[in-house]
Amino acid sequence: MRRTVLFCETLRETPAEAEVAGHQLLLRGGYIQPLAAGIYSLLPLAQRVATKIEQILREEMDAVGGQEITMPVVHPAELWRETGRWYDIGPELVRLRDRAHRDLVLAMTHEEVVADLLRRQVRSYRQLPVVLYQIQTKVRDEPRSRGGLLRTREFTMKDAYSCHASYEDLDRYYPQMYQAYLNIFGRAGVQVTAVQSDVGMMGGTMAHEFMLLTEIGEDQLALCDTCGYSANRQVATFRKPEPEAEEWLPLEEVETPGTRTIAALSELLGIPESRTAKAAFFVSAEHLIFAVVRGDMEVNETKLANAVGAQELRPANAEELSKAGIVPGYASPIGVGSVTIVVDDLVARSPNLVAGANRVGYHLRNTNYGRDYEAGLVADIAAAYEGAPCPHCSSPLRIVRGVEVGNIFKLGTKYSEGLGAAFLDEEGVSRHIVMGSYGIGVGRLIASTAEVCRDERGLVWPITIAPYEVYLAGLDLADARVRSTAEWLYEELDRAGVEVLYDDRDERAGVKFNDADLLGIPLRITVSRRTLQGNSAELKRRASAETRYVPLSDITVEVSEEIRHLREEILNRVEQEPLAAEE
RNA sequence: CGGGGUGUGGCGCAGGGGUAGCGCGCGCGCUUUGGGAGCGUGAGGUCGGAGGUUCAAAUCCUCUCACCCCGACCA
């Protein structure tokens, strides 16, 4: 491609709207163009990156038995009513009506349609297992889009669905998909960390997320460097400290004026925060939930929601609290009525904690679970924290941020039951199809790769997904000999199958070099009067400052070699890491 | 949905009652030519939108829309 033809305008200054570095570079490099909040066009360069990623996706999906299909983006609401998600999902599901006033939805995901396909097509165990996938548009009216392609309201997703006759067969298949995912990200040249995760709105029994570790990530992960334990903080467990072995002491009210926080309380009473109980309040389906964790810990909302079986959980507001007779800052699980009390297992085991007295200016010493109050539920609802003991080996956990670039779920029969997708087994018994669901966001992968693969000058694409392999900078193009050599080399490389972006513009060297760096093409070749003096061209890797002159007679071979090296460097890093059978 | 911020030419910004400017980019000409050139000369703007105040509004007032950031939420 000639730079004079390429639909791409690079910017010298960073657009003010972009905060995230990777996003800034994609805008400056002319990769993407915003149309509305969280809605982007992919321009030719980004489209090429997307196409390369999609090619990897197709190859790896095909390798684990996937068959590509395309499902519609517009669905009849009836399908979503059948599984209940029409009612369960909020405004992020885009709903519309056709001219006959029929309700329609725009696909935010495709489980319903897959299950519908299955119920229409599958009758016998002989047809299973089957793995279907597509690379399709998803629409989600996000409450808040973010970071350019990182979180958008319309995006392309590779979604795959495996369909099995039994849970055993899904369990056997799931690790294959797990490995396929490691292959995909490895081949794309990005390092990901697989973590156990919450099943969220998708439902199901087991899930992993593939996380690209970066500060701009929206998720928090708990990682153990010693034994390799890794989990999304939403579900991460940790080994809780053994509480002090103490006799229960008598309950005692103390005056604590103006101490509405745990920190103030522990200072006033001269006790560690770990000797206090902290209350937090949530509302689920109009029902108030009173959560208690030890004062030095935080409530993990996901764990809490899962513990009480809630679809949705939100912090309670002041009005709801006062209606329930709860005094914020001095709340106590003792003597509150008509609310669900959920107590963290550590609090239930800890003697003589200080808790609120449910009366402004007073707390209670020596509260003891079982003697002074009971709970509707005792469960692990505390959030893992930096330095918390690993649940497997007790080493301190690290909390880091990451971007979820892919996820895999054991869905089970939620959708096949909802839509009645069943088959007859060997014995002639009707059974529901057991499903797995596997997603990768293409745009998000582009955005997070841009975030991770860059330096102060611009992007540095892994060669496997770079829009072009070579940036050919022709300098001194007014010189007929230089021009004809550059043109010849462009043709020559093209004939050799090398993907070249040829900068044939009438620009100064600095402009071309800066653009080459900004766009992040892995290799740069320079042809100029200077290089032609030795009948050579200059070759440089984007990732290195080193340059070398290569005779024109060898340049095509040399470049092909370099490309091969760069590819091998990436492919050699692809992890072979079998998924442990039991997690 | 709560909190904060910003809307002035393609991009970055200034101006703050008297009819719009700077830098970069863009067109043309000459010079220059290995890390974002110089000079000259041009083109390009309903100052986000609507209403109001005023002799006069980019500027003041009211409403509204859009975009960004934090939170809530989320694959």
**What ipTM was reported for this prediction?**
0.94
Same domain as A257, residue A312: yes
Distance CA A473, CA A505 (A): 9
Same domain as A76, residue A211: yes
Distance CA A238, CA A393 (A): 10
CA of A27: nearest nucleotide by C1' is B11
CA of A143: nearest nucleotide by C1' is B73
Distance linking the first and last C-alpha atoms of chain A:
49
Whole-prediction pTM: 0.93
CA of A23: nearest nucleotide by C1' is B68
In DSSP notation, A307-345 reads: HHT-S--EEPPHHHHHHTT--TTS--STT--SSEEEEEH
Same domain as A111, residue A215: yes
Is residue A459 in some structural domain? no
Q: Token pair of A1, please?
A: 């491609």
Same domain as A357, residue A425: no
Same domain as A54, residue A201: yes
Question: Looking only at Cα atoms, what is the longest distance across chain A?
Answer: 97
Is residue A59 in some structural domain? yes
Same domain as A415, residue A311: no
* d(CA A476, C1' B32) / Å: 12
Is residue A278 in some structural domain? yes
CATH number of the CATH domain containing A353: 3.90.960.10
Is residue A500 in some structural domain? yes
* d(CA A37, C1' B20) / Å: 30
How remote is the C-alpha of A151 from its chain's centroid?
10
* d(CA A404, C1' B5) / Å: 28
Same domain as A198, residue A69: yes
Same domain as A168, residue A89: yes
Residue at shortest CA–C1' distance from B2: A317
What positions of strand B are covered by protein, i.e. any atom < 7 Å from a CB? 1-2, 6, 10-13, 23-25, 32-37, 66-75
* d(CA A550, C1' B40) / Å: 42
* d(CA A33, C1' B57) / Å: 34
Strands annotated E in A16-113: 32-36, 39-42, 66-68, 74-76, 95-97, 103-106
List chain A pLDDT tens, one digit each, 583 residues: 999 999 999 999 999 989 999 999 999 999 999 999 999 999 999 999 999 999 999 999 999 999 999 999 999 999 999 988 898 888 899 999 999 999 999 999 999 999 999 999 999 999 999 999 999 999 999 988 999 999 999 999 999 999 999 999 999 999 999 999 999 999 999 999 999 887 665 556 688 999 999 999 989 999 999 999 999 998 899 999 888 888 999 999 999 888 878 888 888 899 998 999 988 888 887 788 889 999 889 888 888 888 888 777 777 777 777 777 787 778 888 877 678 889 999 999 999 999 988 888 899 999 999 999 988 889 999 999 999 999 999 999 999 999 999 999 999 998 999 899 999 999 999 999 999 999 999 999 999 999 999 999 999 999 999 999 999 999 999 999 999 999 999 999 999 999 999 999 999 999 999 999 999 999 999 999 999 999 999 999 999 999 999 999 999 999 999 999 999 999 999 877 777 644 4
* d(CA A34, C1' B57) / Å: 32
The total number of structural domains that make up chain A = 3
Same domain as A437, residue A362: no
Last residue of a domain, one of A423, A451, A479: A451
Expressed as residue numbers, the domain containing A491 is 468-570
Same domain as A177, residue A57: yes
Same domain as A362, residue A481: no
Is residue A391 in some structural domain? no
Same domain as A501, residue A447: no
CA of A155: nearest nucleotide by C1' is B75
Is residue A29 in some structural domain? no
CA of A144: nearest nucleotide by C1' is B73
Is residue A295 in some structural domain? yes
CA of A507: nearest nucleotide by C1' is B33
* d(CA A203, C1' B5) / Å: 38
* d(CA A375, C1' B66) / Å: 49
